[in-house]
Amino acid sequence: MSFFAAFRVALRALTRNLTRTFLTVLGIVIGVAAVIAMMAAGAGAREQIKAVFETMGTNMLVIRPQSDATTAVRGGEGSAASLTFADVDAIRTECAAVQYAAAVLQTRAQIGAEEANWNTQVTGTTPDFLTLRQWPAEIGKSLNEEHEQSSAKVVVLGQTVAWQLFGDGSPIGRVVRIKNTPFEVIGVLSKKGQAPNGQDYDDTVFIPLATYRTKIEGGLGDFLRGSIYVSASTPEQVMRAEGQVTALLRERHRTAPGAEDDFRVRNLAEFATAREQTTGTITTLLAAIAAVSLVVGGIGVMNIMMVSVVERTREIGIRMAVGARPIDLLVQFLVEALVLSGIGGLLGLGLGAIAADQLAKALGWISVFPTETALMAIGVASGVGIVFGLYPAIKASRLDPIVALRTET
């Protein structure tokens, strides 16, 4: 018996009892759909994490002072005065793997504009910071070296602040007051979105670092009470840049061998990788749990095929009496099991794609359809049909034709 002939016979056999066939296929459908939905959710979560960290900047290191331990009461991280503005220049010029380096000073302040006002984060920094954060101006212009050198009283707004102060109107050329100092708005940055902790990146304004030190907050002289943001030249150079920065700062701060650093370097790429690995582990676990339903569906296929062999014992005897070989019967029942699991796999593929899309919308994640996982799930479903259909097929092929013909059905 050819495969196509066995396929036609299998379809006729399965359509005799559509309800039983549907219930048998249902287990495979649920199993495949669950696997695809879980893998799609995991892939979407990984893409979401990747997108979030890309908004923070690429190839980036963040350097902060350690805690102040000069008194019995220790301050938190960043409370020590250990980093200097000269350190920033040294990192930029002496670390070969570093492309950009910028000092960042921040405080919260009330900003007023005509009749509106808003409390937001005021950041003093150099143009390199907005470059390494990949944060261009959407309208107007961004900070430049001329603003920094002249300590210009200019400000670039995040979109949240621009909306709160000016609504739909253009803020370019308008004046806002920060701690009673007037600043001219020269630009509005492109939308950045939210940080991993839910912070609104766009709820901020940027002014030149020199202006910040003279008009907003000073008092530490050459020391900076803030952070240094560093961008490596390529993703492959991040670890090298981290090593160079650490060695340079230890040398500049005259840190003794074996002594603890008075600064801390954070590699954001490591955070992203750790989160992706965690998400991947959870996704694999969920997919493994979902795959159990495929096994349950396979047991259902075997059960129905066993019942089918019993119900069609006399038919099997007649086939063998007119010349059917055991291999023909083996192929026939294997094809029936394969058709059951194949139909279930295709239906599960469609249901899983819909479930994955709805799950991504509900969680606010990026919708990702894992093509490789879908193909694997279809293959596994077919394999389940073959594995669990093999025993009933072997049993049918080994029936004694005389005994089968005598069987009443």
Same domain, 249 and 301: no
pTM of the model: 0.61
Determine, yes or no, domain membership for 344.
yes
Predicted local confidence at residue 277, as pLDDT: 64
Is 97 found in the same domain as 179? yes
- Residue 65 placed within a domain: no
Radius of gyration of the chain (CA): 34
Q: What pLDDT shows up at residue 78?
A: 45
Domain endpoint, select from 203, 226, 261: 261
- Domain, as residue range, for 401: 3-52+273-406
* Whether residue 114 is found in the same domain as residue 238: yes
pLDDT at 224 (0 to 100): 85
Domain stop point among 233, 261, 289: 261
pLDDT means per 10 residues in the chain (409 residues)?
64 73 79 79 70 64 75 47 90 93 93 91 94 91 94 95 92 93 95 75 94 81 87 86 93 90 81 61 68 71 70 68 73 76 82 82 72 73 71 68 59
* Domain contains 210: yes
Which residues have a Cβ under 8 Å from the Cβ of 231 and sit 6 or more positions away?
57, 58, 59, 60, 61, 98, 99, 100, 101, 132
Q: Residues 236, 278: one domain?
A: no
Output the CA–CA distances (angstroms, integers) from residue 79 to 64, 222, 226, 262, 320, in the order listed: 9, 15, 9, 11, 88
- pLDDT value, residue 332: 74
Whole-number Å distance between alpha carbons of 227 and 150: 23
The structure tokens listed for 314 are 């006399």
Q: Looking at the structure, do residues 99 and 228 belong to the same domain, yes or no?
A: yes
Cα–Cα distance, 110 to 156 (Å, whole number): 15
Tokens of 7: 């396929």
Q: How far apart are CA 34 and CA 375, in angstroms?
A: 14
Q: How many structural domains are present in the chain?
A: 2
**Where among 221, 239, 261 does a domain terminate?**
261
